[in-house]
Amino acid sequence: MLDDLNVIGQRDPQGALQVAAQQYDQARFDANVSNGENDHREITRVVVAGMGGSALAALIVKSWLKNQLRVPFEIIRTYSLPHYVDANTLVIASSYSGNTEETLSGLNEANERGAQMAVIAAGGELIKLATANDVAYVELPGNLQPRMAVINNLRALVALLVHFDVVDSSTFEDIENETDWLESETSQWTSDVTTDKNYAKQLALHAVGKTPVFYAGNLMSPVAYKWKISWNENAKNVAYWNEIPEFNHNEFIGWTSHPIEKPFAIFDLVSHLEHPQILKRFEVSDRLLSGQRPKSTVVNLAGETVIAQMLWASILADFVSIYVAILNGVDPTPVPLIEKLKKELV
């Protein structure tokens, strides 16, 4: 089925695969900062307010740049900001639509407390508020699903962090430097590449009809979360994730009462850049759980740097989950239940 371009066209009418195939180009998004003047106050901490895919770029930054961030960095995924937010806190409100109610609530609180504010959005109320109140913002390209705009969002977030002198400008360039390599890697996963040569299609066929569970080391934990998001929204499939070593302190024992024939697909998203003990934990955990859960499928993350591996894995997650959607007979693009929920909450 996955090699039948007619079936793919029928089941992916809005072209999610084509969007995935162009994600590499987001690595060169200019991410110009509008209303860029600021009073150069001292920034003692950063808070990013965002939900779902709009929070993912912040999770990537927190892990990728943990040794470069000059101040504490926290992601808030709810309506209220921590009590410590004050005039020396940079609050970045990130919502692809610009209308996410939790994020708007956080920005309003930031304004009330006199925080330094910034906005990332493709439009909506956030851009209106930023424009009207001279708040620094980066406007994202529109007409994408938030989960498919993660690299644009990452470029925007890093641009703002550079602008407010939280990270070095070289980090912005580090993303763009991966563009050509990502294009080459992506070309191996497109719909015209047959299954016998297409890693994304092979992973989809392994996972279809099962509940996937994604594991990554602490460094690559945002990647595992991204795979979960992609499965949920593209494939319309329940999925779970966790990180090692935390996994070994609780969930690890939970598998011991589950017969292996239960419909799970285990994926270990492994980076050679993780701590050596974490790499050992992957191997030992799978061995000790042999016969008590399905054997894990190891996805060795390609790339020689942290950001290269994160971007590679993010794009692959969308390809694989879109192919699972096609096998599931569902349209990978729309998320109508989420839109219905938003309307019910108004």
CA distances to 128, 144, 230, 331 from 11, rounded to whole Å, are: 36, 18, 17, 6
Residue 144 lies in a domain: yes
pLDDT band at 282 (very low <50, low <70, confident <90, very high): very high
Q: Are residue 199 and residue 159 in the same domain, yes or no?
A: no
Q: How far apart are CA 265 and CA 29, in angstroms?
A: 35
Residue 238 lies in a domain: yes
Q: Are residue 37 and residue 120 in the same domain, yes or no?
A: yes
Domain end position, chosen among 143, 177, 211: 177
Residue 268 lies in a domain: yes
Q: Name the pairing type of β-strands 45-50 and 211-217.
A: unpaired
Structure tokens given for 332: 């990978």
Q: What is the DSSP string of 280-303?
A: HHHHHHHHHTBTTBPPPEEEE--S
Residue 82 lies in a domain: yes
Domain that holds residue 220: 5-12+180-328
pLDDT band at 338 (very low <50, low <70, confident <90, very high): confident
CA-nearest of 329, 334, 325, 333 to 207 is 325
Q: Number of C-alpha atoms within 13 angstroms, CB side, residue 133? A: 16
Q: Each residue of 121-179: pLDDT tens digit?
A: 999 999 999 999 999 999 999 999 999 999 999 999 999 999 999 999 999 999 999 99
Q: Are residue 80 and residue 64 in the same domain, yes or no?
A: yes
CA-nearest of 174, 137, 193 to 20 is 193
The torsion region of residue 65 among left (phi > 0), alpha (psi -120 to 50) and beta comes to alpha
Q: Are residue 94 and residue 208 in the same domain, yes or no?
A: no
Q: Is the peptide bond before 245 cis (omega within 30 degrees of 0)?
A: yes
Q: Are residue 137 and residue 229 in the same domain, yes or no?
A: no
Those residues whose C-beta lies under 8 Å from the C-beta of residue 91, and which sit 6 or more positions away, are 46, 47, 48, 49, 81, 85, 106, 107, 110, 115, 116, 117, 118
Residue 25 lies in a domain: no
Q: Are residue 141 and residue 62 in the same domain, yes or no?
A: yes
pLDDT at 260 over 70: no
Domain end position, chosen among 177, 210, 244: 177
Edge-to-edge strands, sheet with 211-217: 240-244, 211-217, 264-270, 297-300
Residue 185 lies in a domain: yes
pLDDT at 274 over 90: yes
Q: Are residue 149 and residue 237 in the same domain, yes or no?
A: no
Residue 18 lies in a domain: no
Q: How far apart are CA 11 and CA 322, in angstroms?
A: 10
Q: Are residue 190 and residue 156 in the same domain, yes or no?
A: no
pLDDT for 98 equals: 95
Domain end position, chosen among 109, 142, 177: 177
- The residue with greater pLDDT, 260 or 214, is 214
Lowest average pLDDT, out of 12-26, 68-82, 326-340, goes to 326-340
Q: Are residue 127 and residue 244 in the same domain, yes or no?
A: no
Residue range 197-205: mean pLDDT, rounded: 98
Q: What is the DSSP string of 9-53?
A: HHH-TT-HHHHHHTGGGGGG-----BS-----PPP-EEEEEE-TH
pLDDT at 337 over 90: no
Q: Name the pairing type of β-strands 89-94 and 45-50.
A: parallel
Domain of 90, CATH number, reads 3.40.50.10490
Q: Are residue 132 and residue 216 in the same domain, yes or no?
A: no
Q: Are residue 45 and residue 73 in the same domain, yes or no?
A: yes
Q: Are residue 63 and residue 153 in the same domain, yes or no?
A: yes
Count of structural domains within the chain: 2
Structure tokens given for 109: 């609180």
Residue 316 lies in a domain: yes
